Amino acid sequence: MTWTQVYDPMGNLALSALMAAIPMIVIFYLLAIRRTPGQIAGAIAVTSAVLVAILVYKMPVGTALTATAMGALYGIFPIFWIVITAIFIYNMTVETGDFDVVKDSIASITDDRRLQALLVAFAFGAFLEGAAGFGTPVAISAGMLVGLGFNPLYAAGLCLIANTAPVAFGGIGIPIIVAGQVTGLDTMKISAMVGRQLPFLSVIIPIWLIVIMAGWKSTMEVLPACLIAGVSFAVLQWFSSNYLGPELPDILSSLAAIIGLALFLRTWKPPSIWRFSDEPPVAKNAHIPNHSTGRIIKAWSPFIVLTIMVILWGLKPIAAMLDATTIKWYVPGLDKVVTQVAPIAAKPTKMAALYKINWLSAAGTSLFIASIISAAILGIGPGRFFSIFGKTFKQLKKPLITIPCVLGLAYVMNYSGMSATMGLFLAGTGKFFPFFSPLLGWLGVFLTGSDTSANALFGNLQSVTATQVGVDPILTVAANSSGGVTGKMISPQSIAVATAATGLVGKEGELFNFAVGHSFALALIVMIMTYAQAYWLSWMIP
């Protein structure tokens, strides 16, 4: 039995869009207003999505439940697999006491929390996003900040907001590559256009982070460091995206920021050392333990090994070899059962439902292998290794419910056509479409937790609508990705990963409230920028 998507089930697109938005309204309400624990909010939201799909969109019950189940499976693997292995590596360094040495080595560069946030949340997090993506940067960098002594809410929130700048080029450029594939547009031109939008955000994000942490006056004390991080990142992001392609912008930009900050901080110090209000102030002559070079390298070795493994897994020849072991399962009852029609698809297209068990090429597997190597270096035997892994799994029992629920929500909304309805409603704004174009990307990433998935979901709609209203489709497809990055910080999937990494499980609502205003503000900046580039700054479009 096949079923064809209907994008206006109520006979009025605005009313249909309102019905389609019910699951989003539910999860916004539960997280932002009721501050409901993530696993409960996720379960209620996915239930509401299934009910809307069945009762409003007339999606067959079995098809709706199968789509939800497929999303839940993706939530377990590969997403939860990444989260548990990333936090496991961090937990090993804590259990052995090696993270204390990591803290001391960072403090020897700077013991100022503002500068530590720039180094770890912005620069190192961007490197991990570029190499792996899919939750890895937030899981690792947020855990590191908590270990350094950051307030957990700020550690999680800052890493989510810092992850705005690199998301569009994350995972070795896969979001841009997918945008090119689904639209048939020149991938290099999409890369270049994103590289003429995001660098403006990249310059201000470091300043934005420190203002959130410490206020404007304290930010001015470290403004030179913020500019070193932001400008070096933005310049390399622009250059590599325009002249090298979508694969390397995050890697090169983050390395420029890390190296630039490290060199700058060797000769420059802020006038005062800033700490959180609930922390004791740092004594002027506070003694930082002097560890040997070998001891420091050993303590950092899990993160060094992690980085090497993530880079190796991202290299195309290695990824292709590892992908040869992938198990492909075409989900019965869903594969080729749902048909997309115009204007979402250029012609009637049966949606594939392929669940890939890429057990060897998954980013989480690279992290697990890194954990085995790290255990050998740190002197952790098999018994202790599995004991720490068991503790980590116990620590993440609630996210194991939350993450499959929010992925199930994303999948049933996609297969039922609910996401498409909201997209079509925004696309009906005529000449103002370039203004609302980034909001489509924001919506896609909020729903799916992935800029890649948002580009796959709305890329074709962006291209078709832009052509209809007389705007270059390169701009709107790029804006889908650029706008999408601003939705990443409040995606339920991202919130679940961040709370798991920082011990805030059950406080997802607090973290959502911390980030939601910044998400809207940054999205508005991209919306204004895209509108200006459509009509007044069109010379910026490649």
% residues pLDDT > 70 (the chain): 97
> Tokens 């705007």 map to which residue?
471
Under 8 Å between Cβ of 3 and 339 = yes
Half-sphere exposure of 316 (CA within 13 A, CB side): 5
For range 519-538, the mean pLDDT: 95
CA separation for the pair 271, 410 (Å, rounded): 48
Output the pLDDT for position 288: 63
Q: What is the pLDDT confidence band of residue 282, given thresholds at 50, 70 and 90?
A: low
Output the pLDDT for position 281: 66
- Cα 183 to Cα 120, 241, 487: the distances in Å are 36, 19, 22
CA separation for the pair 249, 355 (Å, rounded): 29
CA separation for the pair 225, 257 (Å, rounded): 10
Cβ-proximal residues to 344 (8 Å cutoff; 6+ apart), any chain: 5, 7, 417, 420, 423, 424, 460, 461
Q: Is the dihedral of CA 369, 370, 376, 381 positive or negative?
A: negative
| 338, β-bridge pairs | 3
Output the pLDDT for position 102: 81
Lowest mean pLDDT among 339-343, 379-383, 457-461: 457-461
CA separation for the pair 440, 530 (Å, rounded): 12
Within its chain, how far is the Cα of 231 from the centroid? 22
Kindly report the number of other CB atoms within 10 A of residue 250's CB atom: 31
Amino acid occupying residue 478: A
**What tokens were used for 421?**
């309805």
Output the pLDDT for position 368: 94
**What tokens were used for 365?**
């597997």
Cβ-proximal residues to 468 (8 Å cutoff; 6+ apart), any chain: none
Q: What is the pLDDT confidence band of residue 132, given thresholds at 50, 70 and 90?
A: low
